[in-house]
Structure 1
Amino acid sequence: MYGIQYWPIFLLETGEHVGCCGFRPYDQEKNTIEIGFHILPKFWRQGFASEAANTAISFAFSNLNVSNIFAGHHPNNLACCELLAELRFQYTHHEYYLPTDLQHPSYILEKEQYYLKTI
């Protein structure tokens, strides 16, 4: 799918690398992609993930013709849980994630709901 990628995040003032944010395929039958954001620790809790994710979500729903965006996080990452709530993702289930051998909380943001709440 065109447009599915991760983009680097840099500080405009200094050009310093902050992290990345973007998408990967998730469930083609349900027209769903997965969002991810990875911010370097020294930049945590400064709004970079929120700004990047909001921009990426707007891009995806406006340009990629997707119906849903999936997100998941490590069960101990409470900051990510808070961010997904701020971004209006809805918890759906826990999903097994092989790299951690844990059940991760999983969420969906539906295009219809996104546009209802942004008008």
Structure 2
Amino acid sequence: MKERKFPHFETDRLILNEIQTGDQENIFRGLSHPEVIRYYGVQYSSFEETQEQMDWYTNLKNSNSGLWWAIRLKESNEFCGAIGINDYHPEYHKAEIGFWLLPEYWGKGIIAEAANTIIPFLFDHKGLHRIEAYVEAGNHNSARLLKKLCFELEGRMVDCEVKDGKYISVDIFAKIDNPNWHLPE
């Protein structure tokens, strides 16, 4: 079986490429940082535990159920965070988008720049019609970013998950491509 080439993108300021084994230290830094994981569904307390996340990125790609990119500064190749899709359902032409950044890169428009690069790729080359985003209620920064990216708030799932022993509510956002699109007959 022919190995698929991982899509690589460059923007004015960023490089979006495959997450590598050498990124594990940065993944750990992000997914153990209290401010990053405050509204994120995954967290790790040791570098070794982060191997689970590294395996998850690889398994998504190998099973064709998602793709996640490392976000790096073009000028210095510094790792900033990650963005990608999971829960890819080709039969329904939809997937879930997710993202996170190390705090020193917050407020610089990095996720918007990365998302504005991968979203057209997902619609045009992966055949997606719908991209969903699930945001913990209270995560105003992610909600604001999704609205800036033209995602629509579809509603709130009240007390739908448990985090730290408490029920949390989750807002669902979606971006639809080509509203007049129809399934082939």
- With structure 1 as the length reference, what TM-score do the two structures score? 0.84
Pairwise CA RMSD:
2.0
- What whole-Å deviation, never above 9, does each CA across 1:16-37 have from its counterpart, x for those lacking one? 1100111011555532100111
Contact 2:65-2:88 at 8 Å conserved across structures: no
Contact 2:94-2:132 at 8 Å conserved across structures: yes
Detail structure 1 runs of 4+ shifted over 2 Å in the superposition.
Answer: 1-4, 26-31, 95-101
Contact 1:4-1:24 at 8 Å conserved across structures: yes
User: Larger Cα Rg: Structure 1 or Structure 2?
Assistant: 2
The runs of 5 or more residues in structure 1 that have no matched partner are 114-119
Structure having the higher strand fraction is 1
Say yes or no: does 1:56 pair with 2:118. yes
Structure 2 counterpart of 1:83, one-letter code: L
Contact 1:25-1:33 at 8 Å conserved across structures: yes
State how far apart, in whole Å, the 2-side matches of 1:2 and 1:63 are: 14
How big is the shift at 1:57?
0.6
Structure 2 counterpart of 1:109, one-letter code: K
Say yes or no: does 1:93 pair with 2:155. yes
Say yes or no: does 1:75 pair with 2:141. no
> Counterpart in 2 of 1:21?
83
How big is the shift at 1:76?
1.8
The runs of 5 or more residues in structure 2 that have no matched partner are 1-62, 180-185
Which of 102-111 and 24-33 deviates more?
Answer: 24-33
- With structure 2 as the length reference, what TM-score do the two structures score? 0.56
Contact 1:2-1:64 at 8 Å conserved across structures: no
